[in-house]
């Protein structure tokens, strides 16, 4: 998906706010000026994840490191891990555990520091509350269930930390219902915003239920021109693809993979594209 004007303002404001928290001075002014120039005139082939990658690159050149979200990642992974046993029991007690796990995973995409730079632990309560009203599209959900029942492999494209704990519960439920499925969990190749890396996946124990694969790229999405050959192979050959979050949507949608996309609507152009409202959790199948 090509870059929308809304994305330029959103990424500029959210990342400037995050970096400014660390202090002002000449470096901040240089960062602000260079990011402003980039956002005003990005390459015309760009999507939002590529713009975010370049904003982080500007920070690396000025400060010597990427924009640091390690505290936020630990905070949300820890908060959700503490709740994981209770959430899993909630899912197992539901009339349809797969639907309940999907609702929670959909709502968890709210934990996104690219769009909202000042989330705190209260966002966990927002997620759990939002899951109560999340309604997976019935046609897409029925199709997902049918395809999982006969699939041998699932490629799961992860997005944010915190969210990954609820993804893990969803994968656990899928494997309980469809034990024949071999699950590949694809994560980012290097740290970018609060997106999941292999280290984060290990921290939350994702490897107990899936084979964790680094996509080899430092883009907050699944950018086909830069991902590893192994990730491309999984996209081509897995029986089912579940893609989480807007970054994966914006880099992969329209490429013909027939994936199921799960995300929270945070942008006007996304709500218009998918007929939803800001804050809605969405599950859609690309046919």
Q: What's the pLDDT tens digit per position in 256-275? A: 999 999 998 888 888 888 98
Distance between CA atoms of residues 34 and 13, nearest Å: 13
Strand ordering across the sheet containing 153-157: 211-214, 182-187, 153-157, 240-244, 260-264, 281-285
Q: Is the pLDDT of residue 211 over 90?
A: yes
Lowest-pLDDT range of 4-13, 14-23, 165-174, 197-206: 4-13
pLDDT at residue number 117: 58
Q: Is the pLDDT of residue 116 over 70?
A: no
Distance between CA atoms of residues 32 and 26, nearest Å: 10
pLDDT at residue number 110: 77
Question: Measuring CA to CA, how many Å separate 64 from each of 19, 27, 29, 197?
Answer: 13, 11, 16, 20
């Amino acid at each position: 998906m090509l870059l929308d004007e809304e994305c330029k303002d959103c990424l500029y404001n959210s990342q400037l706010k995050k970096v400014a928290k660390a202090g002002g001075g000449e470096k901040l002014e240089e960062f602000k000026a260079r990011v402003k120039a980039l956002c005003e005139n990005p390459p015309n082939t760009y999507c939002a994840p590529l713009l975010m990658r370049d904003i982080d690159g500007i920070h690396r050149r000025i400060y010597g490191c990427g924009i640091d979200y390690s505290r936020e990642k630990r905070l949300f992974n820890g908060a959700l891990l503490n709740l994981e046993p209770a959430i899993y029991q909630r899912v197992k007690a539901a009339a349809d555990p797969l639907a309940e796990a999907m609702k929670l995973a959909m709502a968890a995409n709210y934990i996104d520091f690219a769009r909202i730079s000042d989330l705190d632990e209260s966002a966990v309560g927002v997620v759990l509350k939002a899951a109560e009203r999340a309604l997976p599209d019935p046609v897409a959900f029925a199709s997902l269930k049918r395809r999982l029942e006969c699939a041998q492999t699932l490629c799961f494209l992860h997005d944010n930390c915190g969210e990954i704990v609820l993804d893990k519960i969803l994968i656990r439920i899928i494997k309980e219902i469809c034990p024949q499925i071999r699950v590949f969990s694809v994560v980012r190749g290097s740290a970018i915003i609060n997106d999941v890396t292999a280290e984060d996946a290990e921290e939350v124990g994702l490897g107990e239920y899936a084979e964790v694969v680094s996509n080899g790229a430092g883009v907050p999405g699944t950018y086909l021109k830069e991902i590893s050959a192994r990730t491309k192979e999984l996209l081509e050959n897995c029986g089912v693809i579940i893609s989480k979050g807007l970054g994966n949507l914006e880099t992969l949608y329209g490429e013909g993979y027939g994936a199921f996309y799960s995300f929270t609507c945070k942008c006007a152009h996304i709500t218009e594209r998918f007929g939803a409202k800001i804050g809605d959790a969405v599950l859609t199948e690309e046919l």
